[in-house]
Amino acid sequence: MDGSISVLRLFSVLTVFMALVISLFTRQVGAAAAQGAADAAAIAVTDLVPPGWDCTEAGLPIGAAATAARAAVDRTVQLAAVQPTAVAVRADPTCSVIVSVRVESDGWLGAGNALGVACRRPPTAEGAALRAPVAPPC
């Protein structure tokens, strides 16, 4: 009887340990996926920005948020445990497009949220807005 209880204890400890490890892994994958999705969405939005952009949110293309969401979904579609839940696109006065993507990752011990933020300047707006040949990083 003692042998079977020892095996049961060992199995329960190993199960809890594996649940912790797998949940930690899925949260890290979620954080990496959020950052990758934000980068892809920022690239997709800046590719749509017209050459004469006035560096305002009103001057962004009409479908900027939809394009960002589509790029975020395309980036995370192969990850079954990671789902994008929110995408936001905004612009700042330095002619930067800022995209934030929030994802939810499912682990054995519940869901975890991660936020990825990417900043990118369209090549047509860099020199004109900052009066410099090379724009500093966002």
How far apart are the two ends of the chain, measured CA to CA in Å?
Answer: 65
Q: Write out the residue range of the structural domain in which residue 106 sits.
A: 2-130
| Closest CA relative to residue 88, chosen from 101, 97, 75 | 101
Give per-residue pLDDT as tens, 89-131: 999 888 889 999 999 988 777 788 999 999 998 876 554 444 5
Q: Determine, yes or no, domain membership for 85.
A: yes
Q: Determine, yes or no, domain membership for 37.
A: yes
Q: Determine, yes or no, domain membership for 113.
A: yes
The CA distance from 89 to 100, in Å, is 7
For the chain, what is the domain count?
Answer: 1
Give per-residue pLDDT as tens, 7-46: 888 999 999 899 888 888 888 889 999 999 999 999 999 9
83 SS3 class: strand
pLDDT tops 70 at residue 54:
yes
β-bridge partners, 99: 89, 118
Burial of 135 (0-12, 13-18, 19+ CB in 10 A): middle
Q: Determine, yes or no, domain membership for 42.
A: yes
**Beta-carbon count within 10 A of 68 CB:** 28
Q: Determine, yes or no, domain membership for 137.
A: no
Q: Which amino acid appears at position 51 of this protein?
A: P
Q: Determine, yes or no, domain membership for 69.
A: yes
Helices (H) and strands (E) in the chain, counts: 3, 3
Q: Determine, yes or no, domain membership for 80.
A: yes
Q: Determine, yes or no, domain membership for 138.
A: no
